[in-house]
Amino acid sequence: SDVYKRQVHIEITYAGICHSDIHSARSEWGPAMYPMVPGHEIVGRVKAVGGKVTKHKVGDLVGVGCFVDSCRDCQYCKEGEEQYCAPGCTMTYNSLERDGKTPTFGGYSTDIVVKEDYVVGVPANLDEKGVAPLLCAGITTYHPLKKAGVTKGHKLAVVGLGGLGHMAVKIGAAFGAEVTVLSRTAGKEADAARLGASHFLITTDDAAMAKAAMTFDFVLDTVSAKHDYSQLLGLLKTRGQMLVVGAPPEPVDVSAFMLLFKGRSISGSLIGGIAETQEMLDFCGKHNIVSDVEVIKGDYVNEAYERMLKSDVKYRFVIDIASLKQ
């Protein structure tokens, strides 16, 4: 059919492990679809293409991110923000194809077949192991920073230094912002500086937090555990923006007065569209940005999940897919 003629067969080389893989595999974000093959941070080489494919060729280094299709007809798809597809985009795994009955399977696999419009090119100068997490953690942080207009002269606070946070530091610094990492302890201060942060602020140090009040243009919050939004809002200047990419499990209390009297705002953000994902990869290629990764074999995934829950990784696990063939 015409659909198959527009598809790309990718031989996967590396697949990143995202925290959402754990939630999905354990059915913690609603009923999961089993059997499941997680993985939406995928890098590999094009093995074959359909007869009508024009964007990719055999041998190309390519990537696949969090979704593999969308309706293409709604306002958001037409605006290039397919992640907000009105009827819902087709996620890379634990989802259904547009026919409503065929399940999708992700990147913890040797191969994947994807429509060409949802495959992105990877700059040749980047280490493909470190590229895999860019397809989720990279675009998740790039999109809100770019949309907010973060640039030289701005002061950016990044809350949390994990898989998302370490990418936010690298990308924010590359945008030209003066980056400060916020963390509960001093344990990651040296890493923050190595990644590109100019300053480090300990959130449990009341005196330091009081001194930092009203000094930031933007706060990018990557933390998914329960924490105090109002404390972070107090760090923002007048008309400052808090950009939320972390997902605490419980509703968050926010004082309206923290927003009203200084014109501050809070906005959420979910990955990015295909064109912007390509833009992000090209930007990372230009600035030689990749994720800091620990490469593992496929039989270590369960241990990796447990270590991730303890924040025991710097800063993303990536599966060497060749290990699945051994």
DSSP state of 84: G
Alpha helices in the chain (DSSP H): 2-5, 19-25, 75-78, 128-131, 137-148, 163-174, 189-195, 206-211, 229-233, 256-260, 274-287, 301-309
CB 3 within 8 A of CB 115: yes
pTM flag (> 0.75): yes
Distance between CA atoms of residues 163 and 141, nearest Å: 10
Q: Between vectors from CA 138 to CA 33 and to CA 274, what angle results, nearest 5°?
A: 70
Q: Which of 16, 10, 311 is nearest to 165 (CA)?
A: 311
Per-residue pLDDT of the chain (326 residues; tens, 9 = 90+): 566 899 999 999 999 999 999 999 999 888 999 999 999 999 999 999 999 999 999 999 999 999 999 999 999 999 999 999 999 999 999 999 999 999 999 999 999 999 999 999 999 999 999 999 999 999 999 999 999 999 999 999 999 999 999 999 999 999 999 999 999 999 999 999 999 999 999 999 999 999 999 999 999 999 988 899 999 999 999 999 999 999 888 899 999 999 999 999 999 999 999 999 999 999 999 999 999 999 999 999 999 999 999 999 999 999 999 999 88
What is the number of residues in the chain? Answer: 326
